[in-house]
Amino acid sequence: MPDPILLRFRAPQGENVDVPVVLLGAGKAAAEQFQAARRTPGVHVLLAGDRDYAVRLALPAEEATIRLVQANRKKSARIVFPGRSPVRRRIEDVAVVPEAPAAAPEASVALDLTAGREGAPPLWLLPDGSFATEPGAALRGLAAGPALVHAARWISSRRTTTFERLFPPSAFHPDEPLRPERLTAAQAAGLLAQVRSALAAAATNAEYARQEPIAAAQVRSAAVTVLSHLVATVLRDPTFRDAADEAAASMFALVTSEEGPSAVPALKAHVIQLLSMRAPALSAADRELARSLVRGLVRESPPYEALPGPWRFAMCSARDFHEGEVDIFINRYGFRDVPPPEGSPSPPVRYGTYRVLEAPFRTPTGAPVLLYARAAKPDDENLEMAMEAFVGVFINRHAQLGAYDMRASAVTVRQAGYKLMLNAQCAGLTTRFAIARAFPDADIYSSWDSTYFRTGAGGKMNASEGVDCFVELLRGMCEQESHAQIEARMRRVQWHHAQARFPGFSQFVGPGNPLVVARFQDVNRDGRADLYDGFLDLTIAEIAEDLRASLTPKDPGVGPSQIGGAAATGLGWAAGSLNRVTQYSDLWASLPGQSELFYVFHAGGFYSRSEPPADVPGGLPEERIGALPAVCRYVRGAEGPAGIHADVMLHAHLSHAGKEMKRLLCAADAMWRAFDTGLLDGPPMHTPEGKRGAVLLTLAGLLEFPADQNFVDGLWAMALEALRFPPISRSLVRACITEADHQASNYYGSKRGLAQLLVDLGKSDPLALSALESEDPKVGRAKEI
């Protein structure tokens, strides 16, 4: 039962007297509600102050309590809302109306789950527990499809509540009582009946699926989202145990039945991932079944029987890495230079040449293992993925704060034959989603932290963690090991990383690590990581990016969950960039559980005014979440060493914004909400100017990529305008990220740099510093669109 609202009086003896009350109205509506209440039984009180409140004493009210309230008319009292500090108000008026006989309870009625929100897709919960698009009779079969799709999108906007609370508490109006509406265990039976009927009508072997395969799959996907939410509810309400078990059984049945010409393999994989995510709510037997299904999602080992040899691997390294890496293979690991064997492929780049190295070990069939090494650029490093002659590709280069990753992913290459890729760079998991999209059938090993190397005289590389791990990968393949065994082998030779305190940490995360990898996959390409994607929307529209119109709102013409293409890819980049930012800036070092080391940010999809995200902590009072350009939702209590994760979301009407602008908007909101919720705190960010300066340094770091500087200055000016910052020179801000910061791995700002920024700004632009010091909470925060 929720804690009551209290009206607190100071008794003559100095003790507090707390009187439970019920809120009738707040703000401008309080006086009107009080006048209306005077005509109804009870003890009604009007409290005046900055925000007026009308309340009624909770029943039964004792005579002594009523006299106490009347005696304090025109005097001060405090009102205490659950979880909030008391606020002082003046008792403006008191009305005592004799009690009337209790009325008979009303019959159950349909509940509007969108709370009358203008433009929201209609969604009603009927008395029997089923969903509908309007009040009326319960729908079954295909007729329930539209309501289930609306329900699935509604569910996907939530994070911290399940069916035990249908309306999240208001973050900005603690005076608004928690709404008690919920789905009961009895109603869950009616909802299960509706979902089962829809699944039967849209099954892969049904006539509708044969005629309209995508529409039928959309119904099945929506039904699975509802079932997953039912399973999750048992963690909050044990009375849902039977319903949760039945919902899980329906999900397992869908995994088995998703076969045939009308089946959608991505949906089957998604159901398995949802079952994995819901494992804590499953019975012991179901948990084990879910684990076995997850293991079946990935290739357990390379297809050795289809790889007779010779095994050719392309090594595509940055030019300043190439020569040193070749020498390490030869001098440390015994590879030898050989002439290109007969049948060797030609380099895919003009004027390029391969230096061919033969390994000192052989394939299981006795064939040679050959390394074709060439210097590469991000624009051409993936080209060998399209050449059947190669079994795999080893890429080793700088990330250039993600700029090179964007260039590499922009080149369209179609994978040919089996491929294994090892991608060694800085924070490779931030861009794994892009690699997985480009090469969905490849076995990918991507770096978690920076991949280390050392140089000798003349700056030539003489030791490489990437090479050490790649050699172990090759040896594991020659022993026909599974991916899990190969990853364990690589773990034994990886260099020291701070994340090693996390049990099972691997610098190179491969297919044998599916629960980590799944956070960075996005099967339907809707800009929401699949492991957290309640609804796998199969009606995705390809939305292009338009950098120059980034801040001009445009209706995409589809629902937020249907946005795909470059627009969704750009949101993935924004989330990945935040993981890179938090790793390479000590401004974020106070995140709990060293979250900056564990990739807590992921793409959370798009939203709109009519379909806003729920359960979002932090922000400004009175802000409209659904009107902000970007929102970052922090969720505490998540699994994993950090104990927290964050959904990075963007407004649907800015889905066309360039990925460069998406990164700036998302980073600004993420940092502000980290301040709001106490995730980031302490000097020098304990003052308004400290917080705003930290945001400016983060934005400046994100704009350090190879491009025309006038163009970058234009992005900077657009971002400052959108974030209500005063005009401030980018050159001044970026000058506070120095070479010393780079040496300390603070590429996106540092506490040292923040102190410098505030001093330099005071000298060169005192008016701008004055704006940063302003008590106006809106300075530095995004405008509504």
| Distance in Å from the first CA to the final CA of the chain | 39
Stretch 746-756: mean pLDDT: 95
For the CA atoms of 457, 462, 466, 469, the dihedral, rounded to the nearest 10 degrees, stands at -160
Prior bond to 60 cis, omega within 30?
Answer: yes
CB 221 within 8 A of CB 270: yes
pLDDT in tens, 261-281: 999 887 887 888 788 878 888
* SS3 state at 47: strand
Of 676, 667, 515, give the one whose Cα is nearest residue 579.
Answer: 667
Looking at the DSSP bridge assignments, the partners of residue 657 are: none
> What 3-state DSSP class applies to 74?
coil
SS3 327: helix
640 pLDDT more than 60 = no
The per-residue pLDDT for range 320-362, each reduced to its tens digit, is 899 999 999 999 999 999 999 999 999 999 888 999 999 999 9
What average pLDDT score do residues 520-526 get?
Answer: 43
Strand extents, DSSP E, 76-125 = 76-80, 87-97, 111-112, 124-125
Query: Strand runs (DSSP E) across 30-167, as ranges?
Result: 42-48, 53-57, 76-80, 87-97, 111-112, 124-125, 131-132
| Cβ neighbours for 696, distance < 8 A, ≥ 6 positions apart | 725, 728, 733, 757
Q: How far apart are CA 680 and CA 664, in angstroms?
A: 18
CATH 3.40.50 residue spans of the chain: 307-511
- Taking a C-beta distance cutoff of 8 angstroms, is the pair 57, 45 a contact? yes
pLDDT in tens, 50-98: 889 999 998 888 877 888 888 888 888 999 988 787 888 999 999 887 7
Read off the pLDDT band of 559 (50, 70, 90): confident
Percent of the chain with pLDDT over 90: 49
- On the question of pLDDT at 107 being above 60, the answer is no
Q: What is the DSSP string of 364-412?
A: TTS-EEEEEEEE--TTTTTGGGG-TT-SEEEEE---GGGHHHHHHHTS-
pLDDT at 574 over 80: yes
Q: How far apart are CA 277 and CA 674, in angstroms?
A: 25
Residue 605's closest CA among 192, 153, 142?
153
Residues 686-737 pLDDT 10s: 999 999 999 999 999 999 887 788 899 999 999 999 999 999 999 999 999 9
Q: Among residues 385, 404, 313, which one has the least CA distance to residue 354?
A: 313
CA 699 to CA 717: how far, in whole Å? 11
Among 383-397, 494-508, 598-612, the range of highest mean pLDDT: 383-397
- What's the pLDDT band for 529 if we cut at 50, 70, 90? very low
Give whole-number Cα distances, 119 to 112, 509, 655, 760, in Å.
Answer: 13, 43, 19, 48
* CA 75 to mean position of chain CA atoms: 49
CA angle at residue 756 from 753 to 761, to 5 degrees?
125
CA 291 to chain centre: 23
Q: Poorest-confidence range of 8-22, 113-127, 745-759?
A: 8-22
pLDDT digits (tens, 9 = 90+) for 32-48: 888 888 878 889 999 99
The pLDDT-based confidence of 105 (bands split at 50, 70, 90) is very low
Query: Residue 55: helix, strand or coil by DSSP?
Result: strand
CATH code for the structural domain at 307-511 = 3.40.50
> What's the confidence (pLDDT) of residue 533?
43
229: which 2 tokens?
A: 């939410």
Structure tokens that stand for 206 in this block: 């049904």
Quick check: 549 pLDDT over 80?
Answer: yes
Radius of gyration of the chain (CA): 30
Residue 421 — φ and ψ, nearest 5°?
Answer: -125, 130
Question: Apex CA 729: angle with CA 695 and CA 775, to 5°?
Answer: 50
